[in-house]
Amino acid sequence: MPKALIIYHNETTDMKLLAEKLRQRLEDLGMQVTTSQDKHFNDFGSIRDYDIIALGVPCLTCKKCHGAEECRAPKLLRKNIKKLFKMNLEDKKLITFTHSADPEKNQWIRKRFETLMAPTKIKPIASVGYTGKPPTNLNDTLRRAITEQIIK
Local mean pLDDT, 10-residue blocks, the chain (152 residues): 90 80 88 91 88 86 56 70 86 88 78 86 86 73 65 52
Whole-number pLDDT of residue 90: 93
Whole-number pLDDT of residue 149: 47
Amino acid at residue number 123: K
Whole-number pLDDT of residue 77: 75
Q: Report the CATH number at residue 140.
A: 3.40.50.360
Whole-number pLDDT of residue 91: 92
Whole-number pLDDT of residue 7: 92
Range of the domain at 112: 3-151
Instruction: Give me the sheet containing 52-59, strands edge to edge.
Output: 32-37, 3-8, 52-59, 93-100, 123-131
Whole-number pLDDT of residue 72: 64
**Number of domains composing the chain:** 1
Give the chain as a DSSP string.
Answer: --EEEEEE--SSHHHHHHHHHHHHHHHHTT-EEEEEEGGG---GGGGGG-SEEEEEEEE---TT-SSGGG--HHHHHHHHSGGGGGS--TT-EEEEEEEES-HHHHHHHHHHHHHHHGGGT-EEEEEEEEESSPPTTHHHHHHHHS-HHHH-
Whole-number pLDDT of residue 125: 87
pTM of the model: 0.85
**β partners of residue 74:** none
Whole-number pLDDT of residue 65: 59
Angle of helix 73-80 relative to helix 103-117, nearest 10 degrees, comes to 30
